[in-house]
């Protein structure tokens, strides 16, 4: 487990209070409350169908909650649209890759700058003065991200021809290109081998340290969670069943039962105490 402790634990970036969300008769979230502090890597953990991605979609404005509130940097954003949330310093990656096939690595990362562009007819009219200046400034930031993520050798490659591990790295680079203050990563290591997971974990830690980003990560790999997260919340069927330091939370009998089933959990606990 990492030994990082945010400088000020009272400096709350994200506060979710009593979040409820239903889809027809299915209650996906049942009064979930959590706080993420500045400088943390905060893990959102749970079995498939536990409500993790639904929670992130509520935070980012894709799903309005049926009850509860979301506060970001002290501002209530509960009913804001996704683009408005993004403009407040939030970027995210997705569980399934959302890269644009047929475009290069560089062009995919450049798309991360869209939240900082302000299209106008006047700027287009005077392209060589204003718009070009903005484009060059955006390109400089993207080139810095490419170097930070060690993607120089594939910057001009079509994104669909590079391996899955590098595609995941490109998606993370595109999110960082938005210069977020709060970064949400939805299973950034899905489908990776051990070496690729270690690379991404290192980049996530570096992003926190070098780019002053607070990170919320959804992840199934418990080795990753215990290695890089400061605190975690564990969901099961839309409810929090454990929270706290990673090693302590995932050892909770309720968490073991949620992942292994009641009978397997009982055998696990017997084995641990014998």
d(CA 43, CA 56): 12
pLDDT digits (tens, 9 = 90+) for 18-30: 999 999 999 999 9
- State pTM to two decimals: 0.85
Half-sphere exposure of 194 (CA within 13 A, CB side): 1
> At which of 179, 200, 229 does a domain end?
179
Range of the domain at 17: 10-89+180-274
CA-based torsion, 207, 213, 218, 223: positive or negative:
positive
* Range 64-85 average pLDDT: 96
**Residue 4 domain-assigned?**
no
116-140 pLDDT, tens digit each = 565 555 555 555 555 567 778 888 9
Q: Averaged over 212-216, what is the pLDDT?
A: 96
Q: Are residues 187 and 274 both part of a single domain?
A: yes
Domains identified in the chain, total number: 2
Quick check: 101 and 192 in contact, CB under 8 A?
A: no
pLDDT of 213 > 90? The answer is: yes
In a domain, 47, yes or no: yes
- Rounded CA-CA distance 108/262 in Å is 45
Residues 206 and 235 in one domain: yes
Measure the CA–CA gap between 155 and 104, rounded to whole angstroms: 7
End-of-domain residue from the set 179, 194, 224: 179
Residue 183, phi then psi, degrees to nearest 5:
-115, 130
Residues 168 and 53 in one domain: no
Average pLDDT of the chain is: 87
Q: What is the pLDDT of residues 171-207, one digit of tens each?
A: 999 999 999 999 999 999 888 888 889 999 999 999 9
Q: Which of 179, 196, 223 is the last residue of a domain?
A: 179
Distance (Å, rounded) from C-alpha 39 to C-alpha 37? 6
In a domain, 44, yes or no: yes
Same-domain check for residues 246 and 131: no
| 110 and 155 housed in the same domain | yes
Task: Specify whether 175 is located in the same domain as 258.
Answer: no
269 with 190, same domain: the answer is yes
Same domain, 231 and 271: yes
Say which CATH number the domain at 218 has: 3.40.50.300
**Do 226 and 252 belong to one domain?**
yes
């Amino acid at each position: 487990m990492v030994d990082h402790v945010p400088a000020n634990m009272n400096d709350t970036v994200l506060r979710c209070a009593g979040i409820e969300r239903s889809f027809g008769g299915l209650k996906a979230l049942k009064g979930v409350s959590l706080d993420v502090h500045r400088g943390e890597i905060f893990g959102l953990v749970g079995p498939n169908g536990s409500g993790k991605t639904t929670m992130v979609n509520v935070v980012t404005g894709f799903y309005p909650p049926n009850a509860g509130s979301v506060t970001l940097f002290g501002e209530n954003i509960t009913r804001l649209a996704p683009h408005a949330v993004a403009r407040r310093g939030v970027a995210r990656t997705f569980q399934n890759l959302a890269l644009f096939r047929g475009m290069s690595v560089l062009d995919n990362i450049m798309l991360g700058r869209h939240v900082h562009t302000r299209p106008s007819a006047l700027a287009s009219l005077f392209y060589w003065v204003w718009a070009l200046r903005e484009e060059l400034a955006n390109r400089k930031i993207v080139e810095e991200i490419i170097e930070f993520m060690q993607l120089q050798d594939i910057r001009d490659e079509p994104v669909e021809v590079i391996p899955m591990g590098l595609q995941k790295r490109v998606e993370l680079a595109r999110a960082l290109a938005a210069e977020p203050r709060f970064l949400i990563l939805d299973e950034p290591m899905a489908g990776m081998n051990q070496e690729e997971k270690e690379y991404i974990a290192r980049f996530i830690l570096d992003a926190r340290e070098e780019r002053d980003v607070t990170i919320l990560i959804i992840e199934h790999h418990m080795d990753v969670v215990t290695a890089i997260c400061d605190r975690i919340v564990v969901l099961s069927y839309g409810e929090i069943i454990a929270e706290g330091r990673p090693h302590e939370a995932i050892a909770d009998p309720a968490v073991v039962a949620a992942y292994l089933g009641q009978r397997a959990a009982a055998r696990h606990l017997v084995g641990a105490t014998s």
